[in-house]
Structure 1
Amino acid sequence: MKQWLVTLVHFGVQEALSCLFPVLIFVSLALTQLFALPQRYDWMLVICLLIQWGMYRSGLETRTEIALISLFHLIGLIMELYKVHMGSWSYPEYAWTKIGGVPLYSGFLYASVASYIMQAWKRLQLSIQHWPSLLLVIPLGMLIYANFFTHHFLPDMRWILMALLVLVFWPTSVYFTVNKQRYRMPLLLAFLLIGFFIWLAENIATYFHAWAYPQQLQSWHPVSPDKISSWFLFVLLALFIISPMKQAKRYTYKPG
């Protein structure tokens, strides 16, 4: 029992350290609201840039990882511009650093997901077994990203994509090390859990007015649990992009 508790605490600490970037973002959102900073979206952009600079200078992130995080910032920003234009959600506060109704700091919310995956990969010594062929992974990744846009005017393929992911990734497992012990988890379960915790974080973020869904403009309401499936798809999309870099950098990786 004692060994189990030590392992659980060790795992919690490593996960918390892996979440440093998103945690600092949420703390900053809370503090900027608490102290009612004017144009807080502009302050958030400065804070996010300082966090990234600090993580790079401290050695927590490499140049390659910063480049990938910047890529996710761009991917997220493009999605935000489209979603805000379509009325999916909005950023009601005024800011100088807004383009098309979207504050530039918002891309860091997506980049923080990539930061978490890369930090967890190193801290928990992740390896993946039975990774599917790129001939399957690349088209799936493209369809997942495209569906975030096309479901506004075409049938939503979310559940079809999730069924395909289950079919393709059912044999895939992720291995991780906690307190010098090696553990295995089905990859789909791992990323469903990550999607769930991102959904919880999304509820916290909307509570602190990071953005607002239409039903939250008058008063705050919990975010629909349907969003867990969206985050599940986005996290897998992030893995599709990050895993080749980890393989090229000779991190522990076991192709199927």
Structure 2
Amino acid sequence: MPSQPENLNRTRQLERRLGDWMRTRLPFVVAELVMFILKQGWAAIFGAALLIGILISSRIWQDSWPVARYDALLAYALFLQVLFLLTGMESWREVRVILLFHLTGTIMEIFKVSAGSWAYPGEAIFKLWDVPLFSGFMYAAVGSYMARVIRLFDMKFAPYPPFWVTLLLAAAIYVNFFAHHFIWDSRLVLFAATVLLFARTRIWFAIGAQHYWMPLPVAAFLSSFFLWVAENIGTVTKTWLYSGQTSDQMVSFAKMGSWYLLLYVSFVTVTLVFRDALQSEPLQITQTHATSAQLQE
């Protein structure tokens, strides 16, 4: 059974060979963009596999079958998680954080479904208060992506605000998802807080020997768009539906705002494990154009 470091080392060697091969055949900028997309796809493989399962099951599942679709999705998600562990694609350290995503996500699901924000119309044995247990894996997919993308891109976050402040912000965002049903919705204040707190924070990431950066709030916004796309896949397949929505209607763009905020909760949760990626001072990185052979010396 390959260990997680061995698996990561093989992945990096493959990336370097593939990158070198493309850079000899494509313009440098195009090759770097292709590598960026491929690495992003590899980081998001758990979520992509889960969405494929949702799409296929919605096409083939019959109400007369002895196993409910939601229960089959739960078994499929468990299989994916075990597979990731056995192949070394995720470590037990990361799985502990992903389990925390399960817990916080399932609690939110139970509350939101009971409040009428959305619903799961299908039947299932493994349901708690009308929430199928597989739904926790959708939050785990976000955690899996974040943990993998930090590793695969060797990400650094700098200059990073005081960690305790980010914990307070994440807690405030999470509480607001519940509290706004009863008191004033503070999401506009929270939007502003994310920008003010992380305005100077750059995400540094590596593609081969080259380093790039992106403002953290911009990365959160772009990620929220792709999660909005995933939301539409969930609703068009009738896996879940928002209040007053039919499966042929797009999810409101306002949900991008919800995901933007929830991504900060997810990110801070992942940093509980990846504290070494956080740098309090700005980074000064000297760019190189080393080949894979040089990198392996």
- TM-score band w.r.t. shorter chain: over 0.9
Cα distance in 1 between the residues matched to 2:45 and 2:238: 21
| CA shift for structure 1 position 171 | 1.0
- Look up the SS of the partner of 1:177 in the other structure: strand
Unaligned runs of 5+ in 2: 1-25, 282-297
CA contact 1:147–1:157 (8 Å) conserved in 2? yes
| CA shift for structure 1 position 50 | 0.3
Residue 133 of structure 1 aligns with which residue?
162
| CA shift for structure 1 position 255 | 2.4
Q: What pairs up with 1:54-133 in 2 under 5 angstroms? A: 54-133=83-162
| CA shift for structure 1 position 146 | 0.2
Residue 225 of structure 1 aligns with which residue?
253
- C-alpha RMSD over aligned residues: 1.2
| Paired AA for residue 2 in structure 1 | P
**TM-score normalised to the size of structure 2?**
0.82
Residue 7 of structure 1 aligns with which residue?
32
Per-residue CA deviations over 1:166-213 (Å, capped at 9, x if unaligned) read: 111111111001132100110110111111111111111111122111
Matched, 1:234 2:262: yes
| CA shift for structure 1 position 242 | 1.1
| CA shift for structure 1 position 11 | 0.6
Identical amino acids, percent of aligned pairs: 34
| CA shift for structure 1 position 34 | 1.1
| Paired AA for residue 224 in structure 2 | G
Residue 50 of structure 2 aligns with which residue?
25
Cα distance in 1 between the residues matched to 2:238 and 2:153: 33
- Look up the SS of the partner of 2:161 in the other structure: coil
Runs of at least 4 residues off by over 4 Å: none
**TM-score normalised to the size of structure 1?**
0.95
CA contact 1:173–1:186 (8 Å) conserved in 2? yes
Q: Could you tell which deviates more after superposition, 152-161 or 81-90?
A: 152-161
Per-residue CA deviations over 1:141-172 (Å, capped at 9, x if unaligned) read: 11100000011111111111010111111111
Q: Could you tell which deviates more after superposition, 193-202 or 235-244?
A: 235-244
- Look up the SS of the partner of 1:215 in the other structure: coil
Number of residues of Structure 1 aligned to a counterpart in Structure 2: 252
Cα distance in 1 between the residues matched to 2:121 and 2:191: 32
Q: Could you tell which deviates more after superposition, 106-115 or 206-215?
A: 206-215
